[in-house]
Copies of this chain bind each other. A is one copy, B any other.
Amino acid sequence: MKVHSGSFSLRTGKRLEVLDVTGEVQRIVGESGVRSGLVTAWIDHTTAALAVNEHDTDLWQDILDAFTRLVPVRGDYRHNAKYGWAPGEQNAHAHILNCLVKPDVTVPLEGGRLRLGTWQSVLFIELDGPRSRSVHAQVVGE
């Protein structure tokens, strides 16, 4: 049994944005030499999230539209009011969406690869960009 980990950086360009990070996560799994086990993709951010879904930029816009319809960017938030002087802290919507979507996703590994279906990609969801971000992958297995 082995434990291996790696990270990579990315730069988001919009307030809300979806980026496909499947290749980078798979690269870290490949470096690990682990054939069978688990990989936890993880972000140490509170205003972004990780999901697994289709690589379709139209769908990504639907996802972001639905998210901000459910939890509006501009709302009557105590967190935003407290930091009213700080333009960078008007982001309660992003914190709330992170609690719903979460900063982690754990994917089985099979034959040294993420066990993804045909339509599955690992998606980084920026909720309060543009920012410099990083994604971590922790591999456990044999």
Contacts and interface: CB of A to CB of B under 8 A. Distances in A.
B99 A63 contact: yes
A102 B52 contact: yes
Given A36-B5, A46-B117, A115-B44, A100 B98 contact: no
A10 interface: no
Contacts of A70: 70-71
A58 to B, nearest CB: 4
Contact of A98 (B53, B71, B110): B53
A112 interface: no
Interface of A: 1, 3, 5, 36-38, 40, 42-46, 51-54, 56, 58-59, 61-63, 66, 70-71, 77-79, 81-82, 92, 95-96, 98-110, 115-117, 119-120, 123, 125, 136, 138, 140-142
Across the A-B interface, the 6 shortest Cβ-Cβ residue pairs: A44-B117, A108-B138, A58-B78, A1-B1, A51-B99, A59-B79
